[in-house]
A and B are shown apart, each in its own frame.
Chain A
Amino acid sequence: MRETVLGIGTAALILGASQAAHAGMFNPETFTLENGMKVVVIPNRRAPVVSHWVWYNVGSADSPLGQSGIAHFLEHLMFKGTDTIPPGEFSRRIARNGGNDNAFTSNDFTAYFQNIARDRLEMVMEMEADRMTNLRLRDEDVLPERDVVLEERSQRVDNDPGARLGEALDNAQFMHHPYRLPIIGWRHEMAQYDREKALAFYRDHYAPNNAVLIVAGDVDAAELRPLAERIYGSIPPRDLPPRTRVQEPPQEAARRVTLSDPRVRQPSMSRSYLAPSYSAGDTAQAYPLQVLAEVLGGGGTSRLYRELVVNQQLAVGVGAFYRPTALDLSSFRVYATPRPGVDLEAVEAAVDAEIRKVLAEGVTEDEVARARKRMSAASVYARDSLGTAARTLGTALTTGRTVEDVEAWPDRIRAVTAEQVNAAAKAVLVAGHSVTGLLLPSAPSEGASAQPEGEAPQTPPIGDRDQS
């Protein structure tokens, strides 16, 4: 019931196979196939199951102009059949074999996974390799799926004022770079998707030399390598288009976006600052910024919570959020929801005062030490789950990082000093690089066609379709 801050300990997590109780990371094994496909194996013998993933180095930010969201649409169409597997049969076959599967799309990557008994690993590898090259699409499958993603957009975005403001915020934060586009796409462009556009995107980007294979669970590299070489290694590499994205110009004007909707009963504010990531901008700040987010908004003893929620009693919820994993620039965000009866202006002023205080006086060594300790502990908890290991490594390898980077995360967090945090705060918390988003109620009026909904999604979605 406390505001949880998502993404700091979670997005940045390292995790690993929970086999050895030594305090290090999980020591994944890696190799590269002759066609350029990277392979990562994370042995975890806890149960006779494997989590098998293929990650493609392509995401929503690689969509052609006018085709926003096409990467996500293709992700849906990847379940629509190949020369040998009829439409819809992919997931049914996984299920008949006692497995779960799903897929998801982000700015920089698209990932497909199956969780299944270890003796079915070869089967899922064959199926995944098959749809890497043999996708067959018919209009009778593509067109209903276009309606599906439009319904998905309604469910996630259009029914939800908070999510609609979020789109406006991203769009203002990135003035030029394609991160300004929604991952799911703009509705008017989604309505124009067709078979040819999807296939063109597929042919451009789906190739073994643009993919990473990750297997976590009851298997090791010695067992996996021959399978990987035979199944994926036999697929010829393709020439890939250069991954050229337009880059963000210098930002100097603070922006504000405001959404008023009769269905908003609970106003809220969010402030986003353009920030470096692990891979772009002043990348040395990526670790200090994670610690800064923890000190500012990482739970019930963070600065924002103690000050705005407990001491001044202005807010019911506050937080800070920074995601360091991106191929290009990222953002550092703080948000606050006022107590019933408190003006949003007062809350925003209090947020600003806390930010000024950090810039003027800095965070203390003690605060940083506490944050570092909490964050390292989170990495222990993260080692408990199969999926988290694969997800963390996949995200890293598709956003410009290495396995070594992931392995070194706890050490690098433990090395962060207050001085570094303060330097990063000064570099990033700059008004001219910011967007302030305000979600406001409005009196319903005749003919106001608010497209409404109530509640921001709590976390990145978990595609748990498994009902047993």
Chain B
Amino acid sequence: MRPVAPFLAACFMAAVMTTTLKPEQALAAEGGSADVEVVRTPGGLEAYLIHAPAVPFLSMAFDFEGGGALDPEGKEGLAYMVSGLLDEGAGDLDSEAFRTELEDRSIRLSFDATKDGFAGSLKTLTEERGRAFELLRLAVTQPRFDEEPVGRIRSQILSSLDRQLEDPQYVASESWFATAFQGHPYARTTQGTPASIEAITVDDMRGFVGRRLAQGNLRIGVAGDITAAELAPLLDATFGALPEEAAPVEVANVEPMPGGTTVIRKNLPQSVVMFGHGAVARHDPDYYAAYVANYILGGGGFSSRLMEEIREKRGLAYSVYSYLYPLDHASLWIGGTGTENARVSQSIEILRREVARMAAGEVTQEELDNAKTYLTGSFPLRLTSNDEIARMLVGMQTAKLGPNFLKERNGFIEAVDLDDLKRVAERVFSADRLHVVVVGNPPDLEG
């Protein structure tokens, strides 16, 4: 939710994983031998903590269940707009005073909304810890929603929507969800539409805060320079004034619409493609086999079949990727690529062929072994930043994986055998069910 700076030069990389969504990889992040402490506060809150005192700061991530999918009809973007305003004035501090204090103390506080949750992050130097939690308490319990910041944030969202409506990646992603989940809240955009953003009132936002920010639907992950004994009272002081329980999350479980190709005509040199279909739930016993299958098919960077066939052999794309995306009420396998208009149908043809090959269970022991050594070996690699660890500790709670997940996870991968892999590949993947959205100007595609 940050407008971006135009015209910034960037380095160019051999390969870039474009992430338009926050997939499950966020929670399969860290590994290694770090010990997760379950912190239970006197007030009844629970948090996962990894104590890492080497650098004098901490990262905290937290998530309240229930996000953009709960936005009322015509008020799409409500959760998202609230996420932009909680750090714009609270308690006795107006927007300027609040922002000044955050910046002068180098406290990084931000909020974000996803389809399923309302997330936040707090990062603070040890020396500013007390005030950092105090400011967070004000933000979640006494947000002000003053006229100036409300108008400003509203205009920022409108401006950013304006820009995104011409961003082929955004258009492809939004269109995919709109068509795959027609009639379901997942079809609607988390960031809202110009009309819905205009329609949102301060009362709507106060209502959201009152309904959604509670203790019962809150998950907390902390990594860095703080002990359990120091953290517990801070958590009670910060979140203790919130209501016990949030309003119930009333979102139906849903399967994405199978099949079909949608072409959205845009005068672009390169067609942007998004594809996907239903998959397996995070708690499904077949999840890890599906995870391995995805690695082999499209998740494995330079080592995936899609990368080999579409990029390496034929030079059809710079980027092609896929991932499992388990939402709270639907399970997806999705991915994307981009190819010049004249050749994009060739990329889609190869994609379908490779999906069909996986769906037929055509996978070898060698591919399974290679996937395992990568997936298990790379797991500890990301145990190198407090931010990532904190996010992952929240993800572990969201997905109900338990505090020992970091130690158990590689065992789940190792347990996948070739029969599992074939069976699950046949169950999960299907070229016929593949739903494809193309944004661009392909000469030989209709839909």
Contacts and interface: CB of A to CB of B under 8 A. Distances in A.
A27 interface: no
A88 B321 contact: no
A313 to B, nearest CB: 7
Interface in B156-183: 156-160, 162-170
Interface residues on B, range: 35 or more
Interface string A118-159: 000000000000000000000000011111111110111011
A2 B96 CA distance: 13
B152 A79 contact: no
B229 interface: no
Contact of A454 (B170, B270, B303): B170
Given A79-B302, A380-B125, A454-B163, A184 B12 contact: yes
B352 interface: no
Interface in B51-109: 52-57, 83-84, 95-96, 99-100, 103-104, 106, 108
Contact of A384 (B8, B314, B386): B386
B263 to A, nearest CB: 16
B193 interface: no
A116 interface: yes
Nearest to A300: B99
A95 B308 contact: no
Nearest to A51: B384
B166 A264 contact: yes
A373 B104 contact: yes
Interface residues of A, number: 119
Given A104-B14, A166-B9, A463-B17, A155 B159 contact: no
A266 B160 CA distance: 8
Contacts of A104: 11-14
Given A79-B302, A456-B8, A450 B317 contact: no
Interface in A59-74: 72
B22 interface: no
Contacts of A459: 8, 10
B402 interface: no
Contacts of A159: 168, 268-270, 272, 338
A170 B3 CA distance: 22
B100 A3 contact: no
B185 interface: no
Given A5-B5, A46-B52, A266-B162, A374 B106 contact: yes
Contacts of A466: 17, 25, 301, 378, 381-382
B383 A263 contact: no
Contact of B269 (A102, A451, A456): A451
Given A340-B155, A456-B5, A381 B123 contact: yes
A147 B170 contact: no
Contacts of B153: 1
A451 to B, nearest CB: 5
B53 to A, nearest CB: 7
Contact of B7 (A143, A335, A340): A335
Contacts of B1: 1
A415 interface: no
A353 interface: no
Interface stretch (A206-214, A283-291, A315-323): A315-323
B427 interface: no
Contact of A316 (B155, B300, B318): B155
Contacts of A155: 270, 318-319, 338
B258 interface: no
B330 interface: no
Contacts, number: 353
A317 B159 contact: yes
B260 interface: no
Given A300-B103, A467-B321, A48 B32 contact: yes
B384 A47 contact: yes
B385 interface: yes
Nearest to A263: B166
Contact of A465 (B15, B28, B272, B370): B15
B168 A339 contact: no
Interface in A1-15: 1-7
A303 interface: no
B316 A467 contact: no
A337 interface: yes
Contacts of A300: 99, 103
Nearest to A79: B14
Interface in A160-192: 162-163, 165-166, 169-170, 183-184
B4 A456 contact: yes
A374 B152 contact: no
A461 B338 CA distance: 17
A452 B166 contact: yes
A366 to B, nearest CB: 11
Contact of B383 (A47, A143, A151, A163): A47
Given A98-B374, A455-B164, A465-B16, A370 B54 contact: no
Given A47-B384, A313-B151, A317-B156, 18 more contacts: A1-B110, A46-B52, A75-B14, A91-B302, A149-B318, A152-B318, A155-B338, A159-B338, A166-B9, A301-B99, A339-B159, A454-B163, A458-B2, A464-B17, A465-B302, A467-B294, A467-B301, A468-B374
24 contacts: A3-B2, A4-B5, A18-B54, A92-B303, A95-B374, A97-B377, A104-B11, A116-B381, A117-B381, A144-B312, A144-B315, A155-B270, A183-B10, A262-B267, A300-B103, A301-B99, A377-B106, A437-B6, A455-B169, A457-B8, A459-B8, A466-B382, A467-B17, A467-B299
Interface of B: 1-17, 19, 23, 25, 28, 32, 52-57, 83-84, 95-96, 99-100, 103-104, 106, 108, 110, 123, 125, 148, 151-153, 155-160, 162-170, 225, 266-270, 272, 291, 294-295, 299-303, 308, 311-319, 321, 323, 338-340, 370, 373-387
Interface of A: 1-7, 18-21, 44, 46-49, 72, 75-76, 79, 88, 91-92, 95-106, 115-117, 143-152, 154-156, 158-159, 162-163, 165-166, 169-170, 183-184, 262-266, 268, 270, 299-301, 306, 309-310, 313, 316-317, 319, 321, 333, 335, 337, 339-340, 370, 373-374, 377-378, 380-381, 383-387, 437, 439, 444, 449-468
